[in-house]
Amino acid sequence: MNLILLEPDEIHAEGLAVLAGKRARHVREVLKAGEGEQIRVGVVEGPTGTAVVIAEDGGEIRLQCTLDGGVPPVPRADVLLAMPRPKVMNRLWPVLASLGVGRILISNAWKTERNYFDTHVLGPEHIRAGLIEGLQQARDTRLPQVSVHRQFRKLIEDELDAFGPYAAKLAAHPGAGAFPAETLAALPREGRVLLAVGPEGGWTPFELELLEAHGFEAVSWGPRALRTDTACAVLLGLMHAALAQSSP
């Protein structure tokens, strides 16, 4: 953890907070912060700052927090992700949060097994725990919004517009088009981008046609078919690098 995240109701009067469990063990055993020492903290969906360890009481650690670091901006990238195998999705929650996304839309696809949607890794508490883990790694506080869509066509045709507007929509597919770094760099600062990442075998021709008919540009970083978690890391890294150069 590079940032200890607190829930809003964990900050008491005059900036006092109490840590227990995993976070307290991390402060004690990994950060090795004793009384009088300072650590980085933040509030979920709120500001960042620092905290001084003022006491240790059994398994609890008491903090005096100063939240003067401001609230991080919402990342400009959203991801539409064809539901991968549950164990891959389980790994992806912290990865996506640490890479920086504003919204995650989990979708069905032709190559997605229907029973993938019955997994516990789509449970709200499990999702939140994974996202919090990623935010703490990246020193962020903005929790990505997550929605699950079992009908791909309905999502693209009827529901997607409600999540925008998007300055650009990209459909990642092996070998289909170059990555549009210059186009993303030319977007206005407030322009948001939606990246659609399909199953590990890629989107079907019908799915690609449907995406393109609704404003998506087919893009790729090359001919290699990547695992879902690798593709997300590569493509989101390229997107954020390009968006960082956007016009003011």
Q: Where are the domains of the chain?
A: 4-66, 77-243
Kindly indicate whether the domain formed by 77-243 is annotated with CATH number 3.40.1280.10. yes
What is the pLDDT averaged over residues 223-245?
88
Q: What percent of the chain has pLDDT over 90?
A: 72
For domain 4-66, which CATH number applies: 3.10.270.10, 3.40.10.10, 2.40.240.20, 2.30.30.100? 2.40.240.20
Rounded to an integer, what distance in angstroms lies between the CA atom of residue 114 and that of residue 54? 51
For 170-218, the pLDDT digits (tens) are 999 887 677 888 888 888 888 999 999 998 878 899 999 999 999 999 8
Asked if the model's pLDDT at residue 223 lies above 80, the reply is no
Q: How far is CA 184 from the centre of its chain?
A: 19
Inform me whether the pLDDT recorded for 46 exceeds 80.
yes
Measured CA to CA, the distance from residue 30 to residue 34 in angstroms comes to 11
Contact 64, 12 (CB under 8 A): no
Give pTM, 2 decimals: 0.92
